[in-house]
Amino acid sequence: MAKKILVCFGTRPEAIKMCSLVHTLRQTDFDVKVCVTAQHRQMLDQVLDFFEITPDFDLDLMTANQSLNALSGRIFTKMDEVLASEQPDLVLVHGDTTTSSICAWAAFHRGIKTGHVEAGLRTYNKYAPFPEELNRQVTGRIADFHFAPTPVSKQNLLNEHIQPEAIAVTGNTVIDSLLWTVDKLENRFSNPKIAELETQIDFSKKVILVTGHRRENFGDGFLNICKALAHIAEQADVQIVYPVHLNPNVQQPVQALLSSHANIHLIEPLDYPTFVWMMKQSYLIITDSGGVQEEAPSLGKPVLVMRETTERPEALEAGTVKLVGTDADKIAREAFVLLEDHALYEKMSRAHNPYGDGKASQRIVEFLKAEL
């Protein structure tokens, strides 16, 4: 009888990184089913539609302004029902979300093995990123199989006394999904949003793509970020494109402080292929996202990271990203350097991407075939 694998995720970033793995798993003899918590609803559905994946179980748990504790409790309850009915041989979770850690924990309570995709990333500061860092560590203690994207993340796991035979260095599945999407874009894929942006943005100027959503930046952090972006936008040859996260803690300061600037385009969150297209068109990316730190180097785009720490030190070492925190003066200063110093820009844009070659999903599948 075929081994049963339940793939669980709930947010847009998880979906982007897991959909390529789902497609690869379904090319095998495994009995593969997908469960989504819908921790993000609208943004998750956009990714599922693009990758043509219909969940077998949709827990639909997103509610407005829910606390992490309330979300966790609901995931526990609903996941227990799915696990009891399906009784999978393995649950696969991804990365650092509340969905991932609670699904892994629920599987453990049922005596079901867990595989952790994108395992071993660490800052060892449980408040940065919050709550992601501790989610990763908890999932790492629970998981039976660990799919580390890089040798650095493998070493973190070894330092935590994870057995070497339980770890596979695979690269990051986000590169699998990114290259698949780029291929579609280069083969004339388009959609109404891409067509709209082509007329809305002046691409004769240097386009700076901005994303920001981290909880630890709520409050003063976002006020400083907005101050920096307003300063950068004073430069005439710049266009800032900012898809604004739907969270009110992001929307309120961004709309209040940046909506009147002619060189800043505040737009709704982008679906995944449109966001990849926008990254390809950009000159520079300023972000607090983890995934963008991994994706942008494959597109030759320098990244300024608005965080004090990163669990992705490989990008820092490779020279593809630079930490700027949420100090307004530092964000603006480093942006101006990249806008004006062509040699430094070229050095960052040509640096090697340490996160993979687009074959991570296949490596994970080969490992599971041997283990299961």
Instruction: Give the residue numbers annotated as catalytic, written as ranges.
Output: 96, 118, 132, 213, 215, 245
- Identify which of 308, 363, 301, 365 has the alpha carbon closest to the alpha carbon of residue 331: 308
Sequence-distant (6+) residues with CB within 8 A of 74 are: 59, 61
Neighbours of 32 (CB within 10 A): 22
Residue with tokens 């926008």: 278
- CA–CA separation, 135 vs 173, rounded Å? 19
**Could you give the count of Cα atoms lying within 13 Å of 154 in the half-sphere of its Cβ?**
16
Spatial strand order in the sheet of 31-36: 57-58, 31-36, 4-9, 90-94, 113-117, 145-148, 167-169
- Identify which of 201, 204, 196, 210 has the alpha carbon closest to the alpha carbon of residue 263: 201
Task: Give the phi and the psi of residue 310 in degrees, each rounded to 5.
Answer: -140, 140
Q: DSSP readout, 337-356?
A: HHHH-HHHHHHHHTSPPTT-
CB-based contact 216:127 (threshold 8 Å): yes
- Identify which of 104, 116, 111 has the alpha carbon closest to the alpha carbon of residue 87: 111
Residue with tokens 């480093």: 334
Q: Is 256 exposed, middle or buried (0-12, 13-18, 19+ CB in 10 A)?
A: exposed
**Distance of alpha carbon 59 from its chain centroid, rounded?**
21
Residue with tokens 């994303």: 211
